[in-house]
Structures are given as structure tokens and as C-alpha cells.
Amino acid sequence: MKIAIVILPLCLAMAGCGREASKKEAGEMAGKDLPSFKEGKGLSLSEETRRFIGLEIAEVSERKLAGQVITEVQVYQSESNSVHAIGLISREQTKLLQSGQSVSLATKDGKSSDGKLLRVDAQIQSASGQVELIVQIPGTEKEYARGISLTATFNAAKEENVTVIPRSALLRAAEGDFVYAVNGDHLTRTAVKVGAESGDFIEITDGLYSGDKVAVKPVQTLWLTELRFVKGGAACSD
């Protein structure tokens, strides 16, 4: 097998991403089915590479969601009989929640409990544009030490059809949420806004339309491959 994802860094450098690669070398490599990247279009992969990495494409669809909003929260203060934890959600997700509603929480070691949403503070935003929420969890600081992380799950039923993608298609990065959308022969990393989540599906409120096609897997491999191209500050083109 000629191409393996483990040798992509070397291939990318030889194809012209490395500053020492010559135009002649880039030309010689161009016909050898290597991945390439074009600013504004994204990644281009040969059929052989697509098969090797197990690339799967799915169509964006519409469905009703018995949805959820899921996020990580971190304990930051304690009271006499409860602790408070803070987390981040998108502005679109704030429309699905109400102060006072219940929330299911789980620690990484499997301990579960129920809490309450105290408030969502839309005035406090992170660098990615997300907003803060505060949840109250019954218990003591001995049970939930400051700094401990929990997964918070809110019910957020959606009665109407909404645009959804498979959960595995979503790339969550420091800059926000993305998908790799099919753009002709390229896979373009596209910013999206998410809403409710349900099982294997996530609602998309902005960035995609029903009928669009996105990469379902391996999204993390696509992201790492793109980073190899742009890490030096200049994108490669095919």
C-alpha cells in the first residue's frame, strides 16, 4: 500500500509545504496521489487515500430531535449543601434552556447526580463566542472538589424538523465548531453553529443546508492533515 496516514507529514513536506522543498520536487510529487491543500477550498485526497483512511461521507438531513444540550462543567465554588459549576454553550443553545430546569451530571469515574441550571449569562463570552452557564449540584466540596469536571446533560426537546448531522461529523476546536463539507473535489472545513443533540445526531442551526454532504469520519485525521499544511503559516495549493 503506497500511502499511509502515518507518513503524511513527510509527504506534505516533500509536496511543497516544507520551506526547503523545490518546485521541481513538488512537480515530481504531484502525480503520486498525495493529499494537497488549497486556500479557500480545503483538502483534496486521492481515491486511494480516501479508502485507506476510511473516509465516509453523509448527507445533511432533517429530522425531529428529542434533543439534549451536553457540555462540560467545572466546579468553582461551594456552599453549605451544594457546589456551583461553570460551563460554556453556544448562543443558539441558550434558546433551548430555561433557568431552574434540571440537569443530569456525571463525573469521569461514573458517579451521577441531578442538579439545577441557575442561570445563563449571555453577556460573558469566551474567545469562541460561547456563553457561560452556572449549575448547582447538591453535595459538599468533599464530594465535588473545586476544579473537578462533570458532563452536564439538559433535555431540550425539538418538535419541528431541524437540520442535523451525525455526531461524528462535528469537529470541536478552540476556535469553534466545524465540519468538513464536500466542495467539488475538496473537503472544506466549514464553521457551523450547533443546537440540540440527540443520540448520534446534532442539530445545525447555521452553516449547512439539508442535502449538503459532510465527512463523517475520520474528521480528526482530516483536521490534523490540514494543520500539517498550514502550520508553517502558508497554505499549499494543488
The 10s digit of each residue's pLDDT in 111-162 is 899 999 999 987 766 666 788 999 999 999 889 999 999 999 998 766 678 8
Asked if 145 contacts 111 with a C-beta cutoff of 8 angstroms, the reply is no
User: Which cell is 166 given?
Assistant: 451525525
- Give the whole-angstrom CA distance, residue 169 versus residue 204: 11
- Condensed to tens digits (0 to 9), the pLDDT of residues 40-85 reads 999 999 999 999 999 999 999 998 877 788 899 999 999 889 999 9
Which secondary structure element, helix H or strand E, spans residue 225, and what is its range? helix 219-230
Kindly report the pTM of this predicted structure: 0.60
